Amino acid sequence: MILEALQHFLTPAAKEVKALGFVRESIAIEARYKRCRRAWAGHLDKCQQHILAAASDLKEKATIMIIGSGALHDAPVDELLLLGHRIVLVDIVHLAKVRRKYAQNDRVTFFEHDVTGLIKPLFDWQEAAPSLTAAKAKNKLPGADLAVSLNILSQLPINLITYAARRHIPLPGNFENALLADHLDLLSDLAPKQLIISDLERQYWADADAAQREEALPKDICQRLKEPCDIWDWHIAPKGELDKNISLRHKVACWPSGKSPLPSC
């Protein structure tokens, strides 16, 4: 805990990014990865294989943007570089060890960016609720040949809603739906080809029984995405990680644009 607190203090980030918990969350996810690497292996491999397959028909020197790149455990950056592509890594924060790995590679660009456009408006809030329309107008990213939304779609509203509730900031009734729909629009604007990987459902397991299930995406967003081409389990928190008797699994799905990325889809 002391090391994580020190890392939080030393990680450069805007004050609003730290205030909404994104730096703390990035550090915690990396720590959990180290503890749960074996349980995560199947999920990480699935993500990497879908991204590689989605990139398989791109021309050499194509630009691939990965939104939600994080610590890159689920992003096959080295393999994409071997194919001759340029990589744009987009996240609200990139930890130092991730930046160091590709600091000398001129085909890898780190882009620390709030894809919701709402973090600073929420942090600066005084009286009026933040405007999704205004945030969307400010959401500028470079174009790409392939845009990947990587395990981020369902997560986008969580810290925003938590922070708004803590500060008693009123949000529109359709806030979550509008935010996620805006993200899907953003992907379409960024690249002619898109790949979305997101959790569909959270399952809390006690022994062999799923004690509780929670939908991860609103029904309207699922209907817009239609049928995924692949679904798998991510054992994100084995028993003992969050609770001595309960484990947490995510049901994860993949949606490509164009033809299915894997032969099994």
Write the pLDDT tens digit of every residue in 153-162: 999 999 999 9
Contact 116, 160 (CB under 8 A): yes
Does a structural domain hold residue 265? no
Does a structural domain hold residue 126? yes
Domain of 116, CATH number, reads 3.40.50
Which structural domain, as residue segments, surrounds residue 195?
2-256
Report pLDDT digits (tens) over 74-119.
Answer: 999 999 999 999 999 999 999 888 999 999 999 999 999 999 999 9
Does a structural domain hold residue 263? no
Report pLDDT digits (tens) over 9-61.
Answer: 557 678 999 999 999 899 888 988 999 999 999 999 999 999 999 999 999 89
Confidence check: pLDDT of 262 > 50: no
Q: Is the pTM of this model over 0.85?
A: yes
Does a structural domain hold residue 50? yes
Distance from C-alpha of 256 to C-alpha of 254, rounded to nearest angstrom: 7
Does a structural domain hold residue 147? yes
Number of domains in the chain: 1
Does a structural domain hold residue 261? no
Does a structural domain hold residue 150? yes
pLDDT value at residue 264: 44
Report pLDDT digits (tens) over 159-201.
Answer: 999 999 999 998 888 899 999 999 999 999 999 999 999 999 9
pLDDT value at residue 8: 61
pLDDT value at residue 144: 97
